[in-house]
Every structure is written in C-alpha cells, then in structure tokens.
Amino acid sequence: MRRSVWVPVAMSLVAAPLAAQAVPGTDVFLVRVRGGAAATIADPPVNLTRRPGYDNQPAFAPDGRSLLFTSIRGDGQADIYRVDLASRAVTQVTRTAESEYSPTPLPTGSGFSVVRVERDSAQRLWAFNDSGGAPVLLLPDIAPVGYHAWLDDSTLALFVLGSPSTLQFANLRTGEHRVIARDIGRSLQRVPGSRRCSFLEHEGGGWALETADPAAPDGAVRRLAAMPPGAEYVVWASPTVALTASGTLVYRLDVGAGAAWTPVADFAQEGLRELSRLAISPDGRWLAVVADDQRP
C-alpha cells in the first residue's frame, strides 16, 4: 500500500550500516554507447578498475571526462576515487576515518554528495568539494540513508533504510521529507528533462520500474514496466529510453513503445558476469557498468 506522509524532521530509522554488509569483489567497466537515445552498444567493455576487491557505484562527472566510484581497499575503509577516462589514471579523492559511498555530482556542477557511515554508524548525506575536502552534513535529521538522487538543486529522492525501506522526497532547505513508496529497491534516478524520479518497487516475486513526481502531494506514482529477472538498477539514456542489466545482458526499454525490455548487448564472451549498477555520461556517449571481478 502506497501513501504520502510528511515525516517530522527529528525522526530516524534504525538499520545495519552499509559497512556491516558483505562486500563482493566488483569492477567498473566502460562501454561506448552509439546512436544517442537509441542506445546501441557495439564496442567491447574496458575494465577501469582491474584489481581484486570492491570497486562500485560509478557516477560520471558533469563534464563527462572522469568517473567517481566507491572503492574498499586494504584498510577496509570505503573511500571515493576518481578515474580519468582519457588516461585511465585512478586517484583517491576522500581519505577519512569514516566510510563514504554512492558519490553523486552536486546539481551546482561542482562537488559531490555521498552517503557517509559515521563513527557511530549513522548513515547520513554529506557533500564534499571536488578535491574531497570541506565536508558538509546536508540533512542532519534524516537517517539511515542508503542511496540518493538529486532532482533539482534543493530536492532529493532518498532510499531510507527500514522495515520496509522507503522512497522519500526531501527538501534541502527546510529539512522536511515525506514517504512516497515502501518496499523499494536501491536504484534511484532522475528522469532526464524532468524532476521525476525513477525507482523500483517490489511486485510479486520481482521488481517494477516506476516514477514519482516531487511536485505532486501524493507523488503521482506511475508504473512503467516489470523488470527483467535479476535486474535491480536503471539509468536513463533519454527521457523515454531506460537501460538496465542482469547476468551478462544489457537491456533497453522504450517507454513509449509498449514498455518491453529488449536485450542490446551480451558481454558473456568478454567474461563479464553478474552485471549490476549502471551510470551514463551526461552526453549519453558512455555507459559505466559494474560486474563481478574478472577471473585471470
């Protein structure tokens, strides 16, 4: 059952922190996307983070020249790293006593936001400058935040952990937030050309792709399509074309053409397995996809 309720800003939920969860070995791969909104994938993927361990949660910089991602290395800390797409050089961006996850460029075009696991295990939303300095707590009274997406310069969509986890819209200026949907997945994305947020909600034994509008009191939730089996993340190549991945396959959904997912690439021969998170560059020319560590 879905409902929209304004939540007092002092309320927080309790859930296990991200750092306490099992961490898989994953790599981030880069793939060229051809055909603009048609989203045809023809070139083989390039491994940007070839090493054992967790490299995940990619996000393109606003200029499309670099990629932020979360990496867990020898000290067990989750920090944010940047890879330059031209040189493939990787640099560490944050070096803190806390763990940072889900780097997301700020709508101002400078800096990025993260979900930070603080020393007391609270998970809240923070912002850093482009160099990984000047940390600022953005929504002090909303926790535990798992994932987030910017819908404009003051409106956020939040995955807030709980039983069940909820989709909430939050106002950065007032701190107010409201529940829009329950029992949702981890994929939150702004639909291009709008302030609508796409998200996944449990439907039977799988997931359904839906959108919600922060301008509507009830969120104006709209169901778009059932997700392919095993697919849990979505990105948008255009206002009407979505991409997802599962197993070795990347799929495309043309929202205005029957809302059925169509395979557009199979990376089995390249050795990619268990495709999961996706990110697309601002110009739509590049797709980042996360897969299990490649075997030698």
CATH number of the domain at 95, please.
Answer: 2.120.10.30
Q: Which region, left, alpha or beta, applies to residue 88 given φ > 0 means left and ψ of -120 to 50 means alpha?
A: left
Specify if 124 maps to a domain: yes
| Confidence bin at 34 (pLDDT 50/70/90) | confident
Q: Is the pTM of this model over 0.75?
A: yes
Least confident range of 22-36, 209-223, 274-288: 22-36
Specify if 55 maps to a domain: yes
**62, 283 in Cβ contact below 8 A?**
no
Pairing of strands 99-105, 112-117: antiparallel
Q: How many CB atoms lie within 10 A of CB 152?
A: 11
Q: Is 163 exposed, middle or buried (0-12, 13-18, 19+ CB in 10 A)?
A: exposed
| Confidence bin at 296 (pLDDT 50/70/90) | low
pLDDT at 251: 95
| pLDDT of 17 over the 60 cut | no
Closest to 278 measured CA to CA, from 1, 41, 84, 35: 41
Residue position matching structure tokens 């023809």? 42
Q: Supply the DSSP symbol for 184.
A: B
**Rounded Cα–Cα distance for residues 53 and 76 (Å):** 10
Specify if 22 maps to a domain: no
**41, 31 in Cβ contact below 8 A?**
yes
- Give the domain extent around 115: 5-14+29-268+276-292
**Rounded Cα–Cα distance for residues 123 and 139 (Å):** 11
Say how many domains are in the chain.
1
Specify if 153 maps to a domain: yes
| pLDDT of 118 over the 90 cut | yes
Residue position matching structure tokens 């996307």? 33
Specify if 19 maps to a domain: no
Specify if 24 maps to a domain: no
Residue position matching structure tokens 């050309």? 193
Specify if 93 maps to a domain: yes
**Rounded Cα–Cα distance for residues 155 and 167 (Å):** 13
Specify if 23 maps to a domain: no
| pLDDT of 101 over the 80 cut | yes
